[in-house]
Amino acid sequence: MTAEERTEAIANEVIETGGTWQTPVPGARSCFTIALHGIEAPGIDADSAARHWHIQARAVIGGWPWPDDDPDLRAAQVEWAEMMVYLDPFPVEIRTQAARIAMRWSESRNVQHAARQILKSAEVAA
């Protein structure tokens, strides 16, 4: 899905299921917020809030158990993994899954470094 398609799909789900779609108050310091299915995500605009919501929703349903070689899923997996390696409130199993994906496909050295640290911590804990 493109960013616009994802935002539209989440907006439709909000309408159909009674979630909330809060836009920033003009002239005030606030952000865009989506609350849907028990997950609340902020963003600087609708697309970033939808992306953050989608990443959190993927984590809540168990993440991506392994890196999938399907090129159609790769962009979604990388996007999810690159965010998850920095989000502490999620269980170590989810962050470890994200770290494996990030190590395999992320082109960011910072993300790969964070992923390496997560994987080292998981090895020590095991």
Q: Which residue intervals of 1-126 are DSSP H helices?
A: 3-17, 46-60, 71-84, 92-105, 109-125
Could you report the per-residue pLDDT of 88-101, keeping only the tens digit for each?
A: 788 888 999 999 99
For the chain, the average pLDDT equals 91
Task: Check if the beta carbon of residue 97 is closer than 8 Å to that of residue 103.
Answer: no
CA trace torsion 101, 112, 2, 92 (10° rounding): 50
The tokens for 124 are 């020590």
Query: What pTM does this model have?
Result: 0.83
Residue 12 has pLDDT above 80, yes or no: yes
Bridge partners (DSSP) listed for residue 22 = 33
How confident is the model over 46-87, as pLDDT tens digits? 999 999 999 999 999 999 888 888 888 898 899 999 999 988
pLDDT of the residue at 27: 80
Average pLDDT (1-28) is 91
| pLDDT score, position 90 | 84
Where b means 16+ CB within 10 Å and e means fewer, 44-83 reads eebbbbbbbbbbbbbbeeebbeebeeeeeeeebbbbbbbb
Residues making up the chain, counted from first to last: 126
Cβ neighbours around 34 below 10 Å, total = 25
Query: In the structure encoding, which two tokens stand for residue 121, read together?
Result: 């911590």
At 126, the pLDDT band (50, 70, 90 cuts) reads: low
The per-residue pLDDT for 40 is 95
Give per-residue pLDDT as tens, 110-124: 999 999 999 998 777
